[in-house]
Structure 1
Amino acid sequence: MTELYPFTPSGPTRRSTLRAAGGGALLLGLGLAGCRSAVSNTSSSPQGASAAPHRGGVLNVAVNADFTPALLFAQSGQSLQQRLIYNTLTRYDDDLRPKPELATSWTYAKDGRSITLRLRDDVTFHNGREFTADDVVFAVKNLQNPVRAAQLRSTAATITGFEKRGDHELVLKLAHPVNNLFDLFEFMIITDPESVEDAVAGKKFIGTGPFKLKKWSPGSGLSLTRNDAYWQPGRPYLDGVELRVIAQADALISSLRSGQSQLSFDVPGKSIGVVKSESGLTISDYDTGAGAIYLGVNTTVAPLNDRTVRQALARAVDRDRLVAQTLGGYGLASAAPWPKSSPAFTEAHRTHYTHDPAKARALLKSAGHSRLDLPMLHIALPGETAIAESIQYDLKQIGVHVTLQPTDGATAQKKLISQGMPALWSMGHGFAQVQPSTLAVSAYPFNEAKNTSRYRSAEYTEVVQEAWTKPETDTAAANALHEKISSILLDEAFLIDLVVRGQLQVSAARLHGVTLNKFSYLNLDNAYLV
């Protein structure tokens, strides 16, 4: 058994202090800065270089769409606020090594069929109730509930038993080994069981996080206030956070330039040039690969049930132009879903489909088509519309005429989950930035058992399940399985990846300490304004 005793920056809990002192364990000092790797900064005052942190101030965050309570337990474009109100058990560093949050340490059984978690014993919910192992049991069972539409429900479902060892130690028993438990632990927010139904109805949000809900104004945004009883001493520095809905790109940019907002992740790529020249703003690119742009294909709609037609579409899109003109130069043109940080990434997969309209037209002709007319759904936001129009233009060059169907984000997400998409759709996906097996067992567009494209394959299911249950330590076998998954995705083209990108952050130069986790949950524990 491998036993770890990592610590949070605020120090060990009372219980872990005693245990570590008695056992002579290796103590790992670490920060909760999270998974942030800013590859591009533009400002006279880059993030992290400033005066010492201090208390006070309210941070205004400009978002382009309102929070959707019904999607609280699903990864979506409205997940930014998750880590502000709630904590998770663990969080990854940039190299996919789990670090503690509400769990302080863990022990895997040798057979991979159970894991023992030690939990913090100094945490309370916003209503004053103590956090215990019962809350972890509830969180797992909550994600096992199909009603929650949580992408990691398959992983949660492998947990078939719970053994409590007091209030702050818990054994999770597994039906079979899986290699993405820590994806679940970072994805799974810890909520108050008694108010969870109020949460999904938008009435009450009670967590253990750094901020408490002050008010949710549907259509306007969330107002949060500092949690004075937060378990990290002296945190957060900010007195409050306002997430303000500003749907129009021009208004959002104006809000940032005027200082009315100090942070946004929703500036369209085409508009990045406008803010680059602003000395009071900083642009940071989170290259964790937490997001990707893709063209979805409904394989039950003729002639998209023909793989040759789908491969033609994959060769029609000019990915490099999409990055340069539509995304402001931020992103990695890629035919595969994996960011460079993923163990599944290869340059051959990334360049498998290059822009080749002549080859695309030849493939369509070989399948008996010279012209196709198809609908394509997209989210009705400026950045998403620009992406859809770019794809529309490229497809037209090979004889595929696309009628755009603008749709609000909540409706698009519901259609994604329910397999209710039209012939084509353009959206973003996540889950390629964590354990590679998670993508194909959890993400709606890729799920081997029930994906949005309605693609099914015994071969795909077999290799995905094998990859999911393969021990992480068996690197060679895992890499071979990742290769098989990538080959199937590229060859079958039931989902056509276009660009891997992280979150593009525009912030005031006087704002420091902002981070995101692997699921793009905003972490403001150490954020402050100067």
Structure 2
Amino acid sequence: MRTPPLPPADPLSRRTALRAVGAGALLLGAGGAVTGCRSAVSTVGGSAGGPKRGGTLTVAVDEDFEPSLLFTQADQSLQNRLIYNTLIRYDERLRPQPELATSWSYAADGRSITLTLRDDVTYHDGRPFTADDVIFAVKNLWKPERSSQLTATAKAVTGFEKRGDHELVLRLAHPVSNLFDLFEFMVIADRHTIDDTLAGRKLNGTGPFRFVSRRPGVGLSLVRNDRYWIPGRPYLDAVELRVYTQPDALLSALRSGQAQLSYRVPGKYLATLKIGASFSVKQYDTGTGAMYVGATVTKAPADNKTFRQAIAWAVDRDRIVSQALGGYGLASAAPWPRSSPAHSEAYRTHYTHNPAKARELLKSSGVSTKQTIPLGHPTTPAHTTIAEIVQNDLKEAGIRTRLEPTDPAVFQKQLISGTMPTLWINTHAFSQVHPSTLAISAYPFNEARNTSHFRSAEYTEAVQAAWRQKDADGAAANARYRRVSDLLLDEAFIIDLAIEDAVQVATERLHGPTLSKYVYLNLDNAYLD
């Protein structure tokens, strides 16, 4: 199938680009009062005079950018699409749309794909973008030191055939159902300055904004890329990403006007947000992350499957959604959001809050109720709240735990290295795209080497069957996804709690920001009144 190129989107035609969960978007006026009702579609407004050029946008974030984790697909990816481009971008129905690749032709047997690349793109330093940059991007993810969660899919690409500077054939060892997930996530970094990139000295991309500086603990400074390949974009002159590790400081930045946009306001704070200027709150229902309890199955008592199932029955998922996420999420025992082809209500409600059932399983597991089990978590507000809820729920079921809070950057490195405590709380991604990516790529679920150290021939076979196929949709694909889900729920080495929705808080002066499926911020068409 050959996909034709599409013209750049007009910012004012993107008003219905994102759906809101259930009822839609809340508009908070001065003093935090509700000034608008929920609607089926969340709109991106425009001023009467149309887009305006100029201005600096400050984005409030709660986690510092760590350049050494750029290629890991870690939970610090918001800025990636500002500096870099990817080959494609997904629309709301997971249909790939052109970005640096303008069209593609997939072989009938799924063993190769031919990409036609843009021939009018340059890096920020003026060097032309070519097929060699795509080859480098794929091979870069092969390297173990990159700790990429997409390594398996990248390694499925075993050959490269250049047909000039702007046409490239990728040869595959076997068909893969999530090839376009790789194209959606993989940033096309400059191959000549990769060491400077990883050190945070120079981030040279093809994106709408150029890197100016990074101040650890403070944030990133970016300015408009005047060479950007979309004519007349971006509208903004500059973007500042500022780090506020405490919710009160982040909220203060929004209220005072120091920041005009954030996706990191904890859900439980949204209802109490009292502001002097009008802000809009927009809910993205694509399932940008999922909260879970992880279990290290090589450490007792988490090596006992019945004990792990007891935990799954003990936790009150609805309470987590209401108290930790402020209602912006979906209680779910499975990792799949409602937008996923793998979602089903039966999987979502497979485990519910049932302390009696949990106590019954705990007794049959033979695990002592006298021991205290470590429960790790990153020190972000949402994770801390969830850890406290889980600790209380487990205590009610007869399981005693000791909270072990850890700095988020350190926690991420422990996750990658597989050196977690017996139990831990965290967020995983990848469930918002094709289901095979979760099981073949995400650190917690990777069938070959996951954080829990769980291995199973049956699980490996199920994951590989879901992955090694060309088609990501259809009855056969869905049957394979069901088999993976059944095993995840039964083995419970990852115990999903709630699907988290991304929530955008923005001044009403700001128009046009969007998020990709993997929470890359797109400001191509954004502008300030």
Q: TM-score range by the shorter chain?
A: over 0.9
Per the alignment, residue 478 of structure 1 pairs with: 477
Per the alignment, residue 505 of structure 1 pairs with: 504
Cα separation, partners in 2 of 1:35 and 1:494, compared to 1, 3 Å: farther
Per the alignment, residue 396 of structure 1 pairs with: 395
Cα separation, partners in 2 of 1:365 and 1:177, compared to 1, 3 Å: same
CA distances 1:205-242 after superposition (whole Å, capped 9, x unpaired) = 00000000111011100000000110000100110000
Amino acid at match of 1:416: L
Whole-angstrom distance in 2 between the partners of 1:299 and 1:197: 37
Amino acid at match of 1:195: T
Per the alignment, residue 314 of structure 2 pairs with: 316
State the number of aligned residues.
Answer: 512
Determine if contact 2:154/2:182 at 8 Å carries over to the other structure: yes
Alignment of 1:28-43 (within 5 A): 36-39=18-21, 40-43=24-27
Determine if contact 1:161/1:173 at 8 Å carries over to the other structure: yes
Per the alignment, residue 232 of structure 2 pairs with: 234
CA distances 1:2-26 after superposition (whole Å, capped 9, x unpaired) = 2121213179xxxxxxxxxxxxxxx
2:84 counterpart of 1:49:
no
Whole-angstrom distance in 2 between the partners of 1:281 and 1:275: 10
Per the alignment, residue 360 of structure 2 pairs with: 362
Amino acid at match of 1:182: F
Per the alignment, residue 350 of structure 1 pairs with: 348
Per the alignment, residue 218 of structure 1 pairs with: 216
2:453 counterpart of 1:454:
yes
Determine if contact 1:10/1:232 at 8 Å carries over to the other structure: no
CA distances 1:258-277 after superposition (whole Å, capped 9, x unpaired) = 11111111111221112277
CA distances 1:261-304 after superposition (whole Å, capped 9, x unpaired) = 11111111221112277661111111111211000011111121
Determine if contact 2:15/2:44 at 8 Å carries over to the other structure: no
Alignment of 1:155-304 (within 5 A): 155-275=153-273, 280-304=278-302
Cα separation, partners in 2 of 1:143 and 1:251, compared to 1, 3 Å: same
CA distances 1:160-213 after superposition (whole Å, capped 9, x unpaired) = 111001110000001111111100001100011011111011111000000001
Q: Which moved more, 1:149-158 or 1:360-369?
A: 360-369
Cα separation, partners in 2 of 1:59 and 1:450, compared to 1, 3 Å: same
Q: Which moved more, 1:473-482 or 1:100-109?
A: 473-482
Alignment of 1:6-17 (within 5 A): 6-9=5-8
Please give the TM-score of this superposition, normalised by the length of structure 1. 0.94
Determine if contact 1:35/1:92 at 8 Å carries over to the other structure: no
CA distances 1:66-117 after superposition (whole Å, capped 9, x unpaired) = 1001100011221110000000000110101000000000001111110000
Cα shift at 1:42: 2.0
Per the alignment, residue 339 of structure 2 pairs with: 341
Determine if contact 2:341/2:473 at 8 Å carries over to the other structure: no
Whole-angstrom distance in 1 between the partners of 2:20 and 2:232: 26
Cα shift at 1:389: 1.0
Please give the TM-score of this superposition, normalised by the length of structure 2. 0.94
Aligned-pair identity in percent equals: 61
Per the alignment, residue 23 of structure 1 pairs with: none
2:430 counterpart of 1:431:
yes
Amino acid at match of 1:38: A
Cα separation, partners in 2 of 1:384 and 1:484, compared to 1, 3 Å: same
Determine if contact 1:380/1:409 at 8 Å carries over to the other structure: yes
Per the alignment, residue 27 of structure 1 pairs with: none
SS in 1 for 2:488: helix
Cα shift at 1:438: 0.7
Cα shift at 1:477: 1.4
- Considering only aligned residues, what root-mean-square deviation do their CA atoms show, in Å? 1.8
Per the alignment, residue 14 of structure 1 pairs with: none
Per the alignment, residue 128 of structure 2 pairs with: 130
Determine if contact 1:206/1:212 at 8 Å carries over to the other structure: yes
Q: Which moved more, 1:386-395 or 1:480-489?
A: 386-395
Whole-angstrom distance in 2 between the partners of 1:407 and 1:118: 45
Determine if contact 1:265/1:506 at 8 Å carries over to the other structure: yes
Determine if contact 1:195/1:204 at 8 Å carries over to the other structure: yes
Whole-angstrom distance in 1 between the partners of 2:373 and 2:160: 50
Amino acid at match of 1:329: G
Q: Which runs of 4+ in 1 moved over 4 A?
A: 30-35, 44-47, 276-279
Cα separation, partners in 2 of 1:443 and 1:35, compared to 1, 3 Å: farther
Whole-angstrom distance in 1 between the partners of 2:324 and 2:165: 52
Q: Which moved more, 1:327-336 or 1:72-81?
A: 72-81
Cα shift at 1:383: 2.2
Match of residue 70, structure 2, among 72, 95, 98: 72
